[in-house]
A and B are shown apart, each in its own frame.
Chain A
């Protein structure tokens, strides 16, 4: 299925979220690989309803259009581990950017999306 057709189908499935879907299509379809935090997407898409936005994002992940990971970020900046869920995130992790084991705290976690999905 072509990318354009997919976004059209998504609008058919979620007609109430057409504005959000169109803005997401602009973000993801306009360049090559995109890696972006959830918060950044909120800034780019500025959805009227966060619940609606979250549902569209869940659909994109279920359809394997987006890869979603919980990324642990180093205090120095940059990711040091990707996990598929919060439950998988360990209490401590080796920060290879500083060569030390660190306690993982909530402020180190980001929900990150990658488009296109590497397995698409």
Chain B
């Protein structure tokens, strides 16, 4: 009773109910109850709930009101949930001196002001499906790779789903339904010069050039394109295969596509999702043989495997190393930690 009295008499912190409601909706679309519950637990807050409604009404809103959870922190959690996984990333490189200059607070503030988004530096937007692509966040993130600048663009896209076909007279008519979908895209620059444009995956497309161009146009004042050149992942694809025996417990290969300068393409693809190409001695030998005759890597379909001896990745992570030479895709939703693990593994494989 004493605790309840203390709670009731504690100063209430006001918060925007509409924004919290939208965050609840977006959490529901991008992550799981257990993930957000775990985040509450790290702060020593009540975290159990059987539904999103319960989690927000009985845990998150009371914590916001009591000041034990702040809105910026909730927005950061949303960023972690929505920015990683189900994405195609494109890597570029700038000189480290150029990157450090672009990362300077004065430069960032000037670019943000020019784009009318300076207020976002301290107060990111929470957007569902804006009518036009919109810069929603401009922030610095700290991680072992250094302090990066992250600019987030949220947009509405049209996704099409095939429904079926019917015959009418001498015509065969195929039908698709159109549906608006939300997409979260991110541009991120490190002091080393490594630059990433991360585009949310489409359901029915493999060509992301237009998406990359559109996102980059929006963030070009922060990251002027002339400073960057594509960072090819070809050395990483080669390195992963060269070290395949060492990486046996960490990486599983599903598909490998190689080309040579005669224009010949060779693909080795496993029969099933869980199969490992390396367990097929004939396929493994064929790939090695083709490579030894001057072939080069075109595409690779790999899984970074969950291992007992490590917390990351938290589950098997499927990565496509195909498309553009500087492109990789993490095809399923994943945690920030798991995405960063894959990111680091790829950078390490680049040497």
Contacts and interface: CB of A to CB of B under 8 A. Distances in A.
Interface of A: 35, 71, 74, 76-80, 82, 91-92, 94, 96-103, 112
B202 interface: yes
A98 B269 contact: no
Nearest to B174: A103
A117 B230 CA distance: 48
Interface residues of B, number: 26
B266 to A, nearest CB: 10
B318 A96 contact: yes
B162 A97 contact: no
A2 B162 CA distance: 48
A100 B204 contact: yes
Contacts of A103: 162
Contacts of A99: 88, 201, 206, 320, 329, 331
Interface of B: 88, 161-164, 201-206, 254-255, 257, 267, 269-273, 301, 318, 320, 322, 329, 331
A77 B206 contact: no
Given A78-B255, A91-B162, A103-B162, A96 B206 contact: no
A96 B206 CA distance: 12
Contacts of B88: 99
A78 B254 contact: yes
Given A92-B161, A97-B254, A99-B320, 6 more contacts: A74-B269, A76-B269, A79-B270, A94-B203, A97-B269, A99-B206
Contacts of B271: 35, 71, 78-79, 112
Given A76-B255, A77-B255, A100 B269 contact: no
Contacts of A98: 206, 320, 322
Nearest to B88: A99
